[in-house]
Structure 1
Amino acid sequence: MDNINFKGGIFMRSITKLNIQYAHRFLNYEGEAQYLHGHTGLLTIEVDGDVDARTGFVYPCNSIKRIAWDFLKNFDHALILQEEDPLLPEILKVYEAQGIRNGAETNTMVGEPFENELAKAYPECRLVVVKKVATCENLIEVFHSLLKDKLNIKKMTFASGDNCASAKF
């Protein structure tokens, strides 16, 4: 059972939502998703904790958003590709030829760089390389890996187009 926090017998949890615009494709997939395409994703983060008597919050939602966004902005208006995708080296060549591989003045969405067992961000060129296909389920796993040491996350839900996944932690 979850660690349940009550205030006057009512279950309490702070919930924050973040929108992410991104493009990806499903490698080795037969169907429309094998082509590069874009989505508007909605990530919902639920954080448990005791209600702060002074503020009335379990955790201030604007603080959750700020902490999460430091890493998640790498995914916004970004291309997400699997590391074995044959498009990846070609995209990097094009970015190099265009002079944007190492960033551009117009790139204002530079997030915290990261590299772990699930993904690597190239914030300077709005590219995230993932180990697994970028499904809602696998992206939740990536997002959780980036935020689990910063927030007491109990549940994440990621909706992208008609697809949605949810995980409890």
Structure 2
Amino acid sequence: MILSDKTILRMLDEKTLVINPLNSEQVQPASVDIRLGDSFSVVEDSPSGIITLENEINYKTIHADSYLILPGQFVLATTMEYFELPCNLTAFVEGRSSLGRMGLFIQNAGWVDPGFKGEITLELYNANRFAIELKSGRRVGQLVFAEMDDYALKPYNGKYQRQTGATGSKVFLDSDR
């Protein structure tokens, strides 16, 4: 079941759901607006010109109030908000349609597991032929919360737990290599 604004506000008040910082205008009828943070990461050049799933990828991280994403460029960004989800709540990340219509795609995995704590890393791609200026604090999407039928037996405790800033891929840590 997707949570209503009334339920979201109650859970925030009870502190069973944590979103910080949050202002009241961000709470929508069935979602919470997420804003762009000030951390941006891009993949550094690889000497071989190849990145693999087995090796750690090097990123250059920039902390700034704005970032110019070039045409065809891929950049990791972060939400301004830090989240703590209870073990019976999951969330879907949806990019803003208005940004998609500009050619800015939020190519994220789109899923937040129950028990997750941290900022959400956003995967941005500029499909436009023009550069797009991104500004920290601007709304870039929504988080839609869904209540599970029961508490998770194994809440999220993975490699991205408590992440802050634009966090690069940690696929090289996967056990199924």
State TM-score, norm by structure 2. Answer: 0.24
Q: Which has the higher strand share?
A: 2
State the structure with more CA Rg.
1
Q: Which has the higher helix share?
A: 1
Higher relative contact order (CA 8 A, sep 6+): 2
State TM-score, norm by structure 1. Answer: 0.25
